[in-house]
Structure 1
Amino acid sequence: MAKGFASTTDMAEKKITFSEIGPDLYAFTAEGDPNSAVIVGDDGCIVFDAQATPALANKVIERVRTVTDKPIKYVVLSHYHAVRVLGASAFDAQGVVASQETHRLVQERGQQDWDSEFGRFPRLFQGSESIPGLTWPTLTFEGEMSIYLGKREVRLMQLGAGHTSGDIVAWVPDAEVMFSGDLIEYHSACYCGDAWLREWPGTLDEIRSFNPKAIAPGRGDALKGLETTREAIAMTRDFVTSLYGAAELSVAKGRTLKESMAATREVMDKKFGSFAIYEHCLPFNVSRAYDEASGIDDPVIWTDKRDREMWAALQD
């Protein structure tokens, strides 16, 4: 029997957890659904990643209001994907912050990504009628910038490409806590359809060099303690290197994309098959890894039509 397309059959509600991972630092997680996070400072807050719709973003706001009544001054976007950004309008923040590269990617492929992700995972777009349009960053940077919430510094950094070419992380020096977005996942598959797989491990090395005491990952449980953060970084590295290695070998052997899919399963299913959204991600991941190993550096734009054509072609 053919698998249901992507996550269209995944309609079960997930349990939300709102946990403190450092002093006045919180992770909003939901059993493998996209995470958000909250950084509270002296005079306001930052929300890191905005959810897919304003209706879902309001669930984040509800949790914020259980710990502080300070204003949400900034929404920081780790990258451009629709499930991370389209809820930003709910926060009524004074600034939406992202890398300049993320701004470029919204312009280049934001609408296609919205249409694509809506088709792949409808449950994550609850209240989609509340989305006012594409989310455009109002404050962008290259390299690094700091936001101060009173005395608390929040360093936003481009440490390298990985999940996308525009990824940023947030580092809170006084607590030694990292907010990684989808550069790190924990017991959840990495989505690699727009990835730069050869660069991703080096970016993970940069994150590891901070020795974070806690990490709010893109998906999966919040990570507390040096042993757990290093495990998650290593697990993510293993995932992306296993994926790219299988594709690189397939291309070298002259295999077709579908043959590469089978070879990738041999390498990855046993280790990662139990991870959240693994089956959803795998065809997109194999397609991107095969392209990159074939010399296509810039990820090909996904559209709702291309999604379904690729999915059908790679099923057994």
Structure 2
Amino acid sequence: MSKTFASAGDLTPKTISFTEVGEGLWAFTAEGDPNSGVIIGEDSVMVIDAQATPRLAGMVVDKIRTVTDKPISHVVLTHYHAVRVLGASAYDAQDIVMGAAARAMVAERGQEDWESEFARFPRLFEGHESIPGLTWPTLTFTDRMTVYLGRRRVDLMHLGRAHTAGDIVAHVPDAGVMFTGDIVEYHSACYCGDAHLQDWPATLDAIRAFDLDAIAPGRGDALVGREMVDAALDNTADFVTSTYRAVARVAQGGGTLAEAMAAARAACDPKFGDYAIYEHCLPFNVARAYDEALGIDTPRIWTAERDRQMWAALQG
């Protein structure tokens, strides 16, 4: 096993795609790197997830300007992770929106998450010196909030715990399209280091109940058409369930973290081993699933030091 995380050596630039998933709705994707979404309303634009730095956010703005010159009025952040939120200042939006639970996580663990993610995945923080500090929302909500971009309605909702305790989605009902953040992935590994793995499948079922025509996922290609939507929902559920069940058997049987890692590999490598960021996510996924199986409901805070300790335990 390598002495460094797989992502530390991932320095290859990714090809950006900008895909229309509905009328005036776009997905900014980059081969398994964090996605952003764009909702063009009657009089302004909403961005879903900001990217990790203002420099990377500028690439999203450049794509937006190829399809509209309307001002960016809202940046919606689906959860608190640094790679999603730290580029928010680049959009000059009037409002930054988060779920209330996500804002609480910024306060509790935002700085630690920033430092941990930066050490794990340096390529995603290109231009990090331009980050002005932690991103704080101007608006929060608990369960549901509706924003009107002129006549276009966007429903922001917390549908349940999944990738984090504070995930939200953005639903555009006139188009049957949802921006899910990292609750849904497509041919990219789910990062479960701060997850609630046993709750995640029920949250996917809540998304499925909307009978969507398209999803812009957290990572991976845009999902256009119900066949792709259903396949991604099924696949995400399989990834999470396969990981948790394999690790839980070991943890609840008194096994070690390294033994849990071996069990997760046996269950997941054949199905998901070629997915984007799989090797990056796996050790964090195993560590969180191990904790959850032993009754630790609130994910422990990741720090750069805890990352190293976990990696050493897996190698030992």
TM-score normalised by structure 1 residue count: 0.99
Post-superposition CA distance 1:191-241 (Å, at most 9, x none):
000001111000000000001100000000000000100000000000000
- Structure-to-structure mapping, 1:168-187, within 5 angstroms: 168-187=168-187
Which segments of 5 or more consecutive residues in structure 2 lack a partner in the other structure? none
One-letter code of the match for 2:77? L
Q: Which residue of 1 aligns with 2:290?
A: 290
What is the aligned partner in structure 2 of residue 30 from structure 1?
30
Cα pair 2:144 2:156 within 8 Å, conserved: yes
Q: How far apart in 2 are the matches of 1:154 and 1:98?
A: 14
Secondary structure class of the residue paired with 2:265: helix
* Cα drift, residue 175 of structure 1: 0.1
2:154 pairs with 1:139? no
Alpha-carbon offset, residue 5 of structure 1: 1.8
| In 1, Cα distance between equivalents of 2:280 and 2:229 | 25
SS in 1 for 2:287: helix
Instruction: Name the CA distance, whole Å, in 2 between partners of 1:121 and 1:251.
Output: 28
- Partners in 2 of 1:295 and 1:73 — Cα distance? 42
Say yes or no: does 1:269 pair with 2:264.
no
Q: CA offset at residue 249 of structure 1?
A: 1.0
Is structure 2 residue 1 aligned with structure 1 residue 4?
A: no
Letter in 1 for 2:220: G
Partners in 1 of 2:233 and 2:43 — Cα distance?
Answer: 32
C-alpha separation in 2, matches of 1:11 and 1:113: 21
Q: Counterparts of 2:243 and 2:199 in 1: how far apart (Å)?
A: 13
Offset of residue 250 of structure 1: 1.0
Does the residue aligned with 2:308 lie in a helix, a strand or coil? Answer: helix
**Partner AA of 2:172 in structure 1:** V
For 1:5, give the aligned amino acid.
F
Percent identity over the alignment is 65
Tell me if 1:80 matches 2:74: no
Q: Does 1:190 align with 2:190?
A: yes
- Give how far 1:253 is off: 1.9
Shift of 1:313: 2.1
Contact 2:162 2:196 survives alignment (8 Å)? yes
1:237 counterpart residue number: 237
- The whole-number CA distance in structure 2 between the counterparts of 1:81 and 1:108 is 12
| TM-score, normalised with respect to structure 2 | 0.99
Q: Distance in 2 between matches of 1:315 and 1:8?
A: 17
**Alpha-carbon distance in structure 2 between the residues aligned to 1:70 and 1:310:** 46
What is the one-letter code of the residue matched to 2:237? R
| Residue number in structure 1 paired with 2:166 | 166
SS at structure 2 position matched to 1:235: helix
Query: Within 5 A, what are the aligned runs for 1:1-316?
Result: 2=2, 4-315=4-315
Contact 1:80 1:102 in 2 (8 A): yes
**Structure 1 pair 189–3 and aligned structure 2 pair: CA distance change class (3 A):** farther
Distance 2:260 2:32 in 1: 26
Residues 5, 308 of structure 1: 8 Å contact kept: no
- In the TM superposition, what is the alpha-carbon distance from 1:3 to its structure 2 partner? 5.3
The residue type paired with residue 256 of structure 1 is T
* One-letter amino acid of the counterpart of residue 23, structure 2: P
Question: What letter matches 2:132 in structure 1?
Answer: P
SS, match of residue 237 in structure 1: helix
Q: Shift of the alpha carbon at 1:312?
A: 2.5
Q: Secondary structure at the match of 2:9?
A: coil
The amino acid across from 1:197 in the alignment is: L
5+ residue gaps, structure 1:
none
TM-superposed deviation, 1:247: 1.6
Look up the SS of the partner of 1:8 in the other structure: helix
Could you tell which deviates more after superposition, 265-274 or 4-13? 4-13
Two-structure CA RMSD over aligned residues (Å): 0.9
The Cα offsets for residues 13-70 of structure 1, whole Å up to 9 and x where unpaired, read as: 0000001000000000000000001000000000000000000000000000000000
| Contact 2:257–2:313 under 8 Å retained in 1 | no
Q: Secondary structure at the match of 2:298?
A: coil
Give 1:134 shift: 0.1
Q: Aligned partner of 2:38: which letter? A: V
Deviations 1:85-119 (A, max 9, x none): 00000000000001000010000000000000000
